[in-house]
Amino acid sequence: GGELVATVGARNGALELEIAATGPGLSDEVQRRVFEPFFTTKSTGTGLGLAIVYRMAEAHGGEVTVRNCPTGGAAFTLRLPQWAGAKAA
């Protein structure tokens, strides 16, 4: 029932992928815990998806962040360092 917006770009030597969703956003507690293994707000689910994404990003020298959007909803941003040999698309 919501909308997803994906944005891709390069900034400060990093590639960025942001996924933003409409909705109520995330509480402060959920934002603090969302990358913890086995933390979930759903009745079914393992709570491993975002934890795996977080650790994979770190393993590649990147990061994942979450924030609430000013207009509502939440956004997750994946940042990975650009390789010196990579060509711009």
Please report the pLDDT score of residue 2 as a whole number: 85
> Which residues neighbour 2 within 8 Å (Cβ) at sequence distance 6 or greater?
21, 22, 23, 73
Distance CA 46, CA 44 (A): 7
Please report the pLDDT score of residue 80 as a whole number: 96
- Answer yes or no: is pLDDT of 3 > 70: yes
User: pLDDT tens digit string along 43-67?
Assistant: 998 999 999 999 999 999 999 999 9
Supply 69's token pair. Answer: 């959007």
Of 7, 4, 3, the closest CA to residue 17 belongs to 7
